Amino acid sequence: MIEEITVSELNKKISNKEDFILLDVRTDSEYYLSNIKGAIHIPMNSVPDTLDSIKRDKEIIVQCKSGVRSSRVCEFLLKSGYADVKNLKGGIVAWAEQIDPSILVY
């Protein structure tokens, strides 16, 4: 079972300047349309090739548009030996609805 985090929990972590990785796994065009400040952008299909660049000793919160692709990436990271991995419930759509209405929803 993949652990999930809500957008309000993520917003608290950002506000508290907690040390974690927000990994945005959407496509380049999606990321450039709208993104959460501070996110690291690695498109889902590139994650296997870039594992070495993703630190293992930090909490990783994976984010996509609605939570489906990020859930798959969470599974992959857990199988690859990452311990502290969470899926952002509702993705950027939930972030736009509940936290930052200025974000473009596509």
Strands (E), the chain: 3-5, 20-24, 40-41, 59-63, 85-88
Catalytic residue among 7, 39, 62, 64: 64
Q: What are the backbone angles phi and psi of residue 43, rounded to the nearest 5°?
A: -55, 145
Active-site residue, 74 included = no
**Integer Cα distance of 3 and 30 in angstroms:** 24
What does the longest C-alpha to C-alpha distance in the chain come to? 36
Query: Which candidate, 103, 77, 87, places its Cα nearest to that of 2?
Result: 87
Please identify every residue annotated as catalytic.
Answer: 64
